[in-house]
Amino acid sequence: MKNMEASWIGQMLMVTSLALAPMVGCCTPRVDPPRSAEGVEAEVRRALGQFNDAAAAGDVKGCLALFEDRADILLVGSDKGEVFKGPAAMEGWLTALLRNNRFSWEMDRVDISHHGDTAWAFVEGRMVVKDPAGKLRFKAPYRFSAVLVRRGDGWAWRLFHGSAPGKE
């Protein structure tokens, strides 16, 4: 009798295990492996380059596509009054700005750091301004800070804050 009970208990455990096995995988949360600082830096540099390329091409939609689609995204230029919050405000300003100018940045110094799904960058170098045909208008010292958040395999902008350093 004890052998029959043990056999029955063993069979029930086997059936229960087989029935529950598929559910274990579906309920286990997916945890992405931590990314190395070097990997994040490369991804953020790519995001900086994408913004640089879109602005240099005068591609307003391309610039905006790099930002998160949120009401609280922020683009702060270097001049008085250049504070634009949300996609509509940013699109209006970028459209006017890029109508007759193309901007890019020579990035001499790029400092990048991150914590989890948030990264920030400090960039210092020169702003390069050209006309739509590509003729250089001027270069000027420029720096900017950016805050980005992980979006899939890349990074989306939350904040661009530009500054034209001058004498104090």
Rounded mean pLDDT, 85-100: 97
Q: How far is CA 80 from CA 29, 65, 76, 114, in A?
A: 47, 25, 10, 30
Where are the domains positioned within the chain?
37-163
Q: Phi and psi at residue 116, in whole multiples of 5°?
A: 60, -125
Distance CA 45, CA 31 (A): 24
Residues facing residue 144 across a β-bridge: 123, 162
pLDDT tens track for 6-57: 554 555 445 444 444 444 455 444 445 557 888 999 999 999 999 999 999 9
Distance CA 51, CA 62 (A): 8
At 24 the pLDDT is: 47
Distance CA 25, CA 134 (A): 56
At 120 the pLDDT is: 98
**Nearest CA-CA partner of 55 in 101, 109, 110:** 101
Distance CA 165, CA 127 (A): 11
Distance CA 168, CA 163 (A): 13
3-class DSSP state for residue 123? Answer: strand
107 has pLDDT over 60: yes
* Residue found under tokens 């270097």: 78
At 110 the pLDDT is: 98
- Amino acid in position 41: E
Which tokens belong to 137?
């208008």
pLDDT tens track for 125-137: 999 999 999 999 9
**CA angle in degrees (0–180, nearest 5) for 125-131-136:** 50
Residues facing residue 157 across a β-bridge: 67, 148
For the domain bounded by 37-163, which CATH number is listed? 3.10.450.50
